[in-house]
Structure 1
Amino acid sequence: MNQQQETDQLFAGVDLGGTSIKVALADCLGNRMLTRAIPTHSHRGAIDVVQRIGTLIGDLLNQSGKAPEQLHGIGVGAPGLVDVHEGVTKFLPNFPTHWRDVPVTAMLQEHFQVPVRLLNDVRSATLGELRFGHGCNHPRLTMAFFSIGTGIGGGLALQGKLWLGPLGAAGELGHQTIIPDGPRCGCGNRGCLEAIASGTAIAAEGVRLMRCGLAPSLHESIDGNADRVTVREMTAHADQDPPLKEALIEAAKSIGIAAANVVTILHPDMIVLGGGVAEMGPLLTDTVRQVIRERVGMMPTDNVRVERSLLGEHAGLQGAIALAMGPVELSGPIVEGTH
């Protein structure tokens, strides 16, 4: 294949979520050319959802004016447990029927006749950060990625390679036990980080404070509508409503404890914080740094950086593009995809 043919190659990245499906068409350098989002409508079933993903990829190809044969790969990030070798979803907890044994890669490959690769969505975001974010200029980066949004997911990279473990499930950083016998988590455990410091958990505390009369500035801003309480709104009013700031800091401390656990076990170069909760900014990153310093006593932590994701909300989509661009080198087997 000559250089001109290589530069003409296109790749499709798919970020499959419970609410929306984001699809991007990218060039051979991973630059997004076209991006579009549609509702997931997961209640219609897996076959319908995958078919609409295929239709959307086709629409983007038509819109780009490029020939279909210029598409050279598709990467899909899915929110749950997947078999990366067979390209099959095993358990998507927030989808009807949980998508058990849905052959996503085979269904898409039958339509497009190109390699298709499947990965958990947050591991995909971790890959995006490796290829196009903080890892771009650090090819041997060891990193823990926390995606803190509605829930808390995670991913691990060892010397520039994803670590997935034997089931592809390594890196579920949100399901560390932080408070024994704490609130029940969706995974069935009690006291998981996700149950106490996800965007959902933080917002619930914001609602409680507002209804108790302890967040008057927030109440006025959103007309007392509990549905409008978000981490972003809480952060915006944290200086006017000190109890909100306390709640945010307490959540950040829990994330810091989880990060300190990872530092003790892995001693990474970097802790990367992504997802909507990372919009807390320095209130989150500075607190996490402080907790790591306080709680990790077995080794120096001055060189462990705590940073926000450079890709923000696009980390998952960029990771899916990276997945589409070629087999992913892992600390273990390689995700080859179906052919």
Structure 2
Amino acid sequence: MTRIYCGIDLGGTSAKLALGDSTGKIIASDSFSTQSDGRPDAVIASIEQHVQKLLRKAGADSLAGLGMGVPGLVDVQEGETRFLPNLPTQWRDIPVARNLSRVLDCPVRLMNDVRTATLGELRFGSGKDSPRDSFAFFSIGTGIGGGIVIDGKLRLGPLGAAGELGHQTMLPDGPRCGCGNRGCLETLSSGPAIAAEGMRLMRMGLAPRLHALTGGATDRVTAKEMALAAAEDPLIDGAIERAFEFLGIAAANVVTVLHPDRIVLGGGVSEIGDRLHRTVKRVISERVGMFPTARIRVICSPLGERAGLQGALALAIASADD
């Protein structure tokens, strides 16, 4: 009988769930909002209900394992959330793995969401056919997260926090980051950071094409809209190039330290065209002088938005093998 696993990608506004087999093939999926009630007990109860519904849909009785990626700091050994800043009550010291294991009667593993997505890339994405490679994964969206794989193994560090690539200091006196530091990559190259510069230029009357695309509504300015306007708005084009240059510098730093086989770019910003890919590749070649970089590939995630769920399934499979 096929063993069934469950992967969960928990976000600040919704939770995505999927049942899959040991190959990572998704059998059934669902989602629910966490905005109306994102408290731990309410979310865990909703997870149980939706898992049971998916099991019935798949014609299965039980789970072999469950993996869950969450947006924040996690104690991976204890399976407890330490701090999830984008959820109500911030989920401080919640024994999520133990609680879910009790109600679903299966092993449960918990990990940071971007590290989970990195695991998805390793098992079912760009690492599937090269399991011993090393790579760094940048997830560029509302924030910038990351993960590091060395010789085919996801590196987590003692707190499961290794790979926070978005919190490299790029400008020592730059904008204040939510982490408390100044000038983090996230403050310069995330989707909201890029959009904020577009809004500023539009308010000053310096981005006529962007103004036309958005009807002058600043709340409609996104990195995607800016990319559409860039050909006719030179200052918008320059803003995007600066943001991508910073991402290239961050990637070059990682290459200098780790010399990985590839840099993998994911998240919403990575999907607005091939400009990011080209810029990051160019900056790496310009700034890494200690060794050749021609063989270091820069690619967009083949999993796209599915990386988090696929990684959660990989985590579930690992939980059953523990």
| Superposition TM-score, scaled by structure 1 size | 0.92
**Superposition pairs of residues 253-264 of structure 1, within 5 angstroms:** 253-264=245-256
Aligned to 2:21: 27
**Superposition pairs of residues 285-300 of structure 1, within 5 angstroms:** 285-300=277-292
Aligned to 2:60: 67
Q: In structure 2, which of residues 273, 277, 302 is the aligned counterpart of residue 281 of structure 1?
A: 273
Distance 1:27 1:94 in 2: 31
Asked if structure 1 preserves the Cα contact closer than 8 Å seen for 2:244 and 2:276, the reply is yes
SS of 1:145's partner is strand
| Superposition TM-score, scaled by structure 2 size | 0.97
SS of 1:102's partner is coil
Q: In structure 2, which of residues 159, 168, 174 is the aligned counterpart of residue 176 of structure 1?
A: 168
Aligned to 2:235: 243
Q: What amino acid is aligned across from residue 187 of structure 1 in structure 2?
A: C
Aligned to 1:205: 197
SS of 1:326's partner is helix
SS of 1:294's partner is helix
State the 1:296 CA deviation: 0.9
* 1:52 maps onto 2:52 in alignment: no
State the 1:79 CA deviation: 0.6
State the 1:27 CA deviation: 2.2
State the 1:280 CA deviation: 3.1
Q: Please give the root-mean-square deviation of Cα atoms over the aligned residues, in Å.
A: 1.4
How many residues of Structure 1 are paired with residues of Structure 2 in the alignment?
Answer: 322
* 1:137 maps onto 2:129 in alignment: yes
> Unpaired runs of 5+ in structure 1?
329-334
Give the % identical residues. 58
Distance 1:42 1:314 in 2: 24
Q: In structure 1, which of residues 311, 314, 324 is the aligned counterpart of residue 303 of structure 2?
A: 311
* 1:77 maps onto 2:45 in alignment: no
Asked if structure 1 preserves the Cα contact closer than 8 Å seen for 2:66 and 2:319, the reply is no
**4+ runs deviating over 3 angstroms:** none
Measured against aligned partners, the alpha-carbon deviations of 1:208-238 in whole angstroms (never above 9, x if no partner) come to: 1122222212211221111111111111221
Aligned to 1:15: 9
SS of 2:289's partner is coil
Q: What amino acid is aligned across from residue 144 of structure 1 in structure 2?
A: A
SS of 1:183's partner is coil
Asked if structure 2 preserves the Cα contact closer than 8 Å seen for 1:15 and 1:316, the reply is yes
> Unpaired runs of 5+ in structure 2?
none
SS of 2:64's partner is strand
Aligned to 1:226: 218
Asked if structure 1 preserves the Cα contact closer than 8 Å seen for 2:244 and 2:279, the reply is yes
